[in-house]
Amino acid sequence: MTTRAIAIFSLGLAAAVLASYGALYRWNMRTPLSVTLSAAAERTILYYRDPSGAPYWSATPKNDTQGRAYLPVYDDAEPSFDPPKTLSLPALSPLNLGQRGEGKILYYRNPMGLPDTSPVPKKDSMGMDYIAVYEGDEPNDGKSIKVSLDKVQRSGVRTETVEPRVLVRPVRGVGSIVIDESRQTIVTMRADGYVEDLFVNKTGQTVHAGDPLFRVYSPQIQQAQTDFIVALRSVQRGILGADADRTFDGAMQRLRNLAVPESRIREVRETGTNPRTIDWPAPADGTVIVKRIINGQRVIAGDELYRIVDLSHVWVVAEVAEADLTDIELGTPALVTLRANPNNPVEGTVTFIYPDIRPETRTARIRIELPNPDGRLKIDMYADVVFRPGANRAAVVSVSDSAVIDSGTQQLVLVAKGDGRFEPRAVKLGRRGEGYVEVRDGLSSGEEVVTTATFLIDAESNLRAALKTFNKDASVDKEASR
């Protein structure tokens, strides 16, 4: 074979090899392309997003103001931002624009929450698409609202069960310790006399009933004792007959009228003597807090000589605001904490509510009786008092304070119906206590109410109410135009 033939044969062989490789390459290239197109056909477009990344979306293909096409978002490729919840569903193509997997589109609402709806897709003045409202998003009974479960979870909505509770609302007041008025005794004489000796000569001394306080000479008591002795001897001798008994009884009664102790009357009757002085006894147990007697002074009938107080029981008179007075009643438990001894509070109960209000402070006075066996409660000590009204009352149906939406004229709670449905319900409230409020009407024990994130559901409720009002007004205008 010549050199020329060999060259031609080599060129042909090379061309054939290249042709084979080219065919093989084209076959390999065509196969991935067809597979790719087939796979793309199987992917579902959820919606189209703005190519610049701005928060604009569309259910159908479109271009932006610069002529750039909106980018498709597939179900297997979620964007880095949160799409609108009404579009995070199967794609809304022109073929299925009127319905989705969960229901039919009822209308389109304003994306800013304004009371404006449209039966067809449209944009607002800012170029934002109206949001579709699907069948099933609206309540069936017209009384409840529905919030998507993911929004409920993200918003931290919490519920609690309505149940009976004993409501205790602490009422605070300030007061001071005062003397128990029922345990005071004044020492006085019913006859004039002269003090010859003083046994209790200091304020603050503790005395017991029958202990001698002072020694006194009284001409009137001396005369009464003389008359008593004469009458006694007349009876013993049988003089004057029946008149002697009446005279004796009269003489004894005169001594008693002068407050002469029974022990002295017995002494005179048994001995027949007439002692010149008398040791005046203490009438009760207690502490001498007032002393107005000096050794050697003249005593005038009716003068206050001593004041003795039993301090084993004391009162606390607390002042509370006029607005809290209706919550306090007789028997209400109270915890008294002394500012001088805050670590040892004392339990007591309300025994009296004073009938007047102090006009200067608009406060009411409440009396509490406390035992004071060790004497650590001193007169005029300051005390902080916490009343616990309702502690002895029966349990009532109640909900948390945070569950109540108060508009000023109406109180509502949101009753959880399950599956993201909530029913706004008007209630009548009663007394409050420790974070709970009594529900007198509108709820039953066992129902679930929303306690947190009520603002979210309340906003949804207001939106639905506004839409219903708008639709009603539009219907009236349409009828009027006809």
Tens of pLDDT, residue by residue over 144-198, are: 666 666 666 666 678 888 888 887 778 999 999 999 999 999 999 999 999 999 9
Q: Give the pLDDT band (50/70/90) at residue 93.
A: very low
Output Rg (C-alpha) for the chain, integer angstroms: 50
Which tokens belong to 472?
């009603």
Does 260 score more than 90 pLDDT? yes
Q: Give the pLDDT band (50/70/90) at residue 268.
A: very high
Does 45 score more than 60 pLDDT? yes
Distance CA 434, CA 220 (A): 68
> Taking a C-beta distance cutoff of 8 angstroms, is the pair 56, 126 a contact?
no
Phi-psi region of 210 (alpha: psi -120 to 50; beta: other; left: phi over 0): left
Which tokens belong to 243?
């008149």
Ranges 12-26, 232-246, 251-265, 311-325: which has the least confidence: 12-26
Distance CA 193, CA 75 (A): 114
What is the structure's pLDDT at 87? Answer: 39
Ranges 211-220, 272-281, 406-415, 416-425: which has the least confidence: 416-425
- How much is the pTM? 0.54
Distance CA 432, CA 171 (A): 11
Q: What is the pLDDT of residues 283-299, one digit of tens each?
A: 999 999 999 999 999 99
What is the structure's pLDDT at 454? Answer: 62
More confident residue, 5 or 193: 193
Q: What is the pLDDT of residues 393-436, one digit of tens each?
A: 778 888 888 888 887 778 888 888 777 777 788 888 887 877 88
What's the Cα-to-Cα distance from 349 to each of 250, 325, 326, rounded to whole Å?
Answer: 49, 15, 16
What's the Cα-to-Cα distance from 123 to each of 67, 116, 118, 149, 469, rounded to whole Å?
Answer: 18, 11, 10, 27, 22
Distance CA 159, CA 284 (A): 63
Burial readout 189-220 (b: 16 or more C-beta within 10 A, e: otherwise): bebbbebeebebeeeebebeeeeebbbbebee
Distance CA 430, CA 442 (A): 12
Which tokens belong to 202?
């200091």
Q: Give the pLDDT band (50/70/90) at residue 48.
A: confident
Distance CA 4, CA 180 (A): 143
What is the structure's pLDDT at 152? Answer: 63
Does 79 score more than 80 pLDDT? no
Strand order in the sheet with 57-58: 57-58, 45-49, 71-74
pLDDT, averaged across the chain: 78
Most confident of 73-77, 183-187, 442-446: 183-187
Which tokens belong to 380?
């005029």
Helices (H), 288-401: none
